[in-house]
């Protein structure tokens, strides 16, 4: 019987080993383990620690002031799964056939079964179970079960903290560069091994410890299973100048499995999504939420990399992906993790202030477009640093978190300062100008979310998100006053008045002829991309055409103006959004994995059921069908969060402010029902949507007013 909380090898068409390493990877926010063949470790497999990186200088053909100075590349550490098995005479077993792989989404246990064969023809069945601690985030455990199929006798085991430092340089900007500047300190005794890895340039170190000796021997009897466990600890990231701490191994495989089980029980209880009527999509959303939880940093010092901890793609960098596509899930299901993810941005705020000064803005902060340590690591500033909208994206996420939680302590300690510093940046970065005799405030030479158009004036999305950032400072200041608290950081009434004045003046035009929001001042003047004569094998465009070729045309990599329409439904009418959708959909390639989820959610809100469902089916199983063609390099984490957004904000029509939560039923006709759980204002609420009916129940907390399908109801 099909179980939508398990992923099986037979559920996938692709059998490429690198792809399977990604899909069956497991993580806990601190580190991840790719699902490698344990007898054949590769440079693509191994252990990835969130935030553990090495720096290297960016070499430019022509240098200029303010360019990003250093690459930051996440490090692939020794593979915890790898093992060598040899016959008594020294001949090694190799994997003959992969029999099965299973990822249990309710327990977090990943199981691999395979048959092994030796040159002499002896065969063994190997079952490997892997589990990572979720509360004990440094811990991992691996259970190996060997069954001799056609012989009896001794086998020699060898388990070493092995690393392939092969050079894997590529012209694909989505891949990580190889790291050659690592130092390894290895120690071993009869009870176990430890390796400490130190980086030359970033001066960080991290360690791995296992309780297995380098070599030992077992005696196998035909058809009788023999099991042994290997316990591991993957240590914290520390400064290279200090002595590395002693790593604590877990007590046992079973105790660690209980740790993980407790975590996953709570995760599903507080944020599950259940689809009735399509098992494949139900499995897809469960898988996506499992991997989203597996990749989120929980310590306030790390975030969510573009590939999570499932691989080294995009060099382990953090982007706007977190705040726009992934953090909304945690805000409404696990506010503690959401707070930690936002705390990371506060942690790197000093670097953001410094970056603003480098860009010639004397006040405020500008967050790095791609980074690990807070410093800009994008070597191509037109599609990197120029995406100033990241400031507004972070501010928007803080506003949503505050609206959902009412967490005044966070706002006073961290959130309000981020809002204020990003607002100061907008106020000092933008300029007043005149259009048709009216004074407006705008932003020049910016790059929008759609990276297929760069360095333009008055991108609609950027202007809208900046306006919201400025308005949010005023709104939160008033919330402090209403709560009887002083406005933090000495902000005065005149400060708020000036921010409100700028926000009101921000340029947000509608084209007179087309009645749509122009994506920027020049977009509508350009010719459309020649889609009819572009072969399918030339997508994504960024890998086949010079950026300057792409920039000359009307072509979108992903949702841009439509993303603004999605984020601000209370200030942009449905009729306006409908016109924008009709215009921009035909020029959007969806070359970015971030795109389809927004098109799905907006279509659902507008009643375009067919489009909404078609785009959603692509998001729900994007990596499980390898829609983007590069899942081997790591999962598309933003899309994982985007699939949840498609369901919750699209099909369920969830919208909220600090004062009001609303749900609007857009259940697809293909489903029998949809049920989901969210956390809002200290309540745990469950909603069940069927055709024509929306039922709400309060699982925890005080009664609350909720607008359901246009009618206000008290849920108690």
Q: Phi and psi dihedrals of 313, rounded to 5?
A: -55, 150
The angle subtended at Cα 644 by Cα 560 and Cα 647, nearest 5°, is 90
SS3 state at 434: strand
Average pLDDT over residues 32-50: 90
Please give the pLDDT value at position 167: 43
268 in Cβ contact with 604 (< 8 Å): no
User: What residue has token string 């400031």?
Assistant: 391
Residues 6+ apart with CB under 8 A from 484: none
The angle subtended at Cα 221 by Cα 218 and Cα 222, nearest 5°, is 135
Closest CA to 368 of 76, 51, 48, 67: 67
Please give the pLDDT value at position 172: 54
SS3 state at 325: helix
pLDDT tens per residue across span 113-124:
999 999 999 999
Q: Can you name the residues that pair with 148 across neighbouring β-strands? A: 124, 222
Residues 6+ apart with CB under 8 A from 273: 285, 286, 289, 644, 647, 648, 674, 675, 676, 677
Residue ranges per domain, the chain?
Answer: 33-264
Please give the pLDDT value at position 166: 44
pLDDT at 43 over 80: no
The catalytic residues are: 451
Average pLDDT over residues 520-540: 97
Average pLDDT over residues 496-507: 98
DSSP class of residue 415?
I
Q: Which of 15-24, 171-180, 220-229, 363-372 has the lowest mean pLDDT?
A: 171-180
Average pLDDT over residues 583-591: 98
Please give the pLDDT value at position 694: 98
Q: Phi and psi dihedrals of 686, rounded to 5?
A: -115, 135
Average pLDDT over residues 449-474: 98
Closest CA to 412 of 496, 332, 486, 342: 486
pLDDT tens per residue across span 126-140:
999 999 999 999 999
pLDDT at 663 over 60: yes
pLDDT tens per residue across span 607-656:
999 999 999 999 999 999 999 999 999 999 999 999 999 999 999 999 99
Q: Phi and psi dihedrals of 54, rounded to 5?
A: -120, 150
Percentage with pLDDT > 70 across the chain: 98
pLDDT tens per residue across span 294-348:
999 999 999 999 999 999 999 999 999 999 999 999 999 999 999 999 999 999 9
C-alpha–C-alpha distance, residues 696 and 200, integer Å: 56
Half-sphere exposure of 437 (CA within 13 A, CB side): 0
pLDDT tens per residue across span 256-290:
999 999 999 999 999 999 999 999 999 999 999 99
CB burial of 259-289 (b: ≥16 within 10 Å; e: otherwise) equals: bbbebbeebbebbbbbbeebeebbbbbbbbb
What architecture is domain 33-264?
A: Distorted Sandwich (2.70)
Half-sphere exposure of 105 (CA within 13 A, CB side): 22
Q: DSSP 3-state helix, strand, coil percentages of the chain (rounded to 5)? A: 35, 25, 40
pLDDT tens per residue across span 144-193:
999 999 999 999 999 988 665 444 455 555 555 578 899 999 999 888 99
Average pLDDT over residues 524-542: 97
């Amino acid at each position: 019987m099909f179980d939508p909380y398990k992923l099986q090898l037979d559920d996938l068409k692709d059998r490429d080993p690198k792809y399977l390493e990604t899909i069956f990877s497991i993580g806990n926010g601190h580190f991840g383990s790719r699902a490698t063949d344990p007898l054949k470790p590769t440079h693509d497999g191994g252990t990835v620690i969130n935030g553990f990186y090495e720096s290297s200088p960016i070499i430019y053909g022509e240098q200029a002031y303010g360019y990003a100075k250093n690459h930051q590349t996440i490090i692939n550490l020794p593979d915890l799964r790898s093992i060598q098995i040899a016959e008594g005479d020294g001949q090694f077993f190799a994997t003959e056939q992969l029999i099965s792989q299973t990822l249990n989404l309710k327990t977090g246990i990943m199981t691999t079964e395979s048959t092994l064969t030796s040159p002499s023809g002896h065969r063994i069945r190997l079952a490997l179970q892997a589990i990572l601690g979720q509360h004990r985030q440094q811990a991992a455990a691996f259970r190996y079960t060997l069954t001799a199929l056609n012989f009896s006798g001794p086998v020699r085991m060898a388990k070493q903290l092995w690393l392939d430092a092969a050079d894997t340089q590529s012209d694909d900007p989505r891949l990580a560069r190889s790291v050659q500047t690592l130092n390894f300190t290895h120690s071993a005794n009869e009870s176990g091994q430890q390796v400490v890895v130190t980086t030359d340039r970033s001066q960080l170190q991290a360690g791995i410890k296992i309780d297995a000796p380098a070599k030992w021997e077992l005696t196998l009897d035909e058809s009788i299973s023999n099991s042994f466990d290997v316990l591991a600890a993957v240590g914290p990231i520390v400064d290279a100048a200090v002595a590395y701490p002693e790593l604590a191994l877990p007590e046992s495989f079973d105790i660690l499995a209980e740790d993980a089980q407790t975590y996953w029980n709570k995760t599903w209880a507080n944020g599950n999504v259940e689809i009735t009527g399509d098992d494949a999509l139900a499995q897809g959303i469960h898988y996506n939420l499992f991997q989203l939880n597996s990749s989120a940093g929980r310590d306030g010092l790390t975030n969510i990399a573009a590939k999570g901890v499932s691989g080294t793609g995009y060099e382990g960098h953090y982007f706007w992906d977190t705040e726009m596509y992934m953090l909304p899930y945690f805000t409404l299901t696990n506010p503690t993790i959401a707070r930690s993810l936002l705390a990371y941005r506060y942690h790197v705020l000093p670097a953001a202030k410094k970056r603003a000064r480098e860009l010639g803005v004397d006040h405020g902060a500008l967050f790095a477009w791609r980074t690990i340590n807070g410093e800009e690591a994008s070597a191509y500033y037109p599609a990197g640093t120029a995406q100033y909208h990241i400031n507004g994206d972070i501010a928007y996420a803080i506003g949503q978190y505050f609206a959902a939680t009412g967490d005044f302590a966070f706002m006073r300690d961290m959130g309000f300062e981020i809002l204020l510093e990003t607002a100061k940046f907008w106020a000092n970065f933008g300029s007043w100008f005149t259009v048709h005799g009216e004074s407006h405030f705008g932003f020049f030479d910016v790059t929008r979310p759609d990276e297929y158009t760069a360095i333009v004036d008055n991108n609609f999305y950027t202007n809208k998100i900046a306006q919201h950032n400025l308005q949010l400072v005023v709104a939160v200041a008033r919330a402090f006053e209403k709560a009887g608290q002083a406005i933090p950081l000495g902000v005065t009434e005149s400060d708020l008045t000036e921010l409100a004045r700028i926000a009101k003046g921000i340029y947000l035009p509608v084209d007179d002829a087309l009645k749509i929001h122009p994506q920027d001042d020049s977009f509508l003047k350009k010719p459309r991309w020649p889609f009819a004569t572009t072969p399918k094998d030339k997508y994504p465009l960024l890998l086949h055409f010079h950026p300057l070729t792409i920039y000359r045309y009307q072509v979108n990599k992903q949702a841009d103006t439509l993303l603004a329409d999605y984020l601000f439904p209370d200030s942009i009418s449905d009729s306006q959004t409908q016109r924008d959708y009709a215009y921009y959909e035909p020029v959007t390639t969806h070359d970015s994995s971030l795109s389809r989820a927004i098109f799905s959610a907006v279509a659902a809100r507008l009643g375009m059921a067919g489009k909404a469902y078609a785009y959603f089916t692509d998001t729900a199983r994007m990596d499980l069908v390898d829609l983007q063609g590069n899942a081997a390099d790591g999962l598309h984490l933003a899309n994982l969060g985007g699939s949840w957004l498609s369901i919750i904000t699209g099909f369920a029509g969830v919208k909220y402010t600090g004062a009001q939560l609303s749900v609007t039923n857009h259940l697809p006709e293909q489903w029998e029902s949809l049920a989901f759980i969210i956390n809002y204002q200290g309540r745990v609420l469950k909603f069940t949507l069927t055709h024509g009916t929306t039922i709400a129940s309060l699982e925890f907390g005080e009664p609350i007013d909720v607008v359901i399908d246009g009618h206000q109801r008290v849920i108690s």
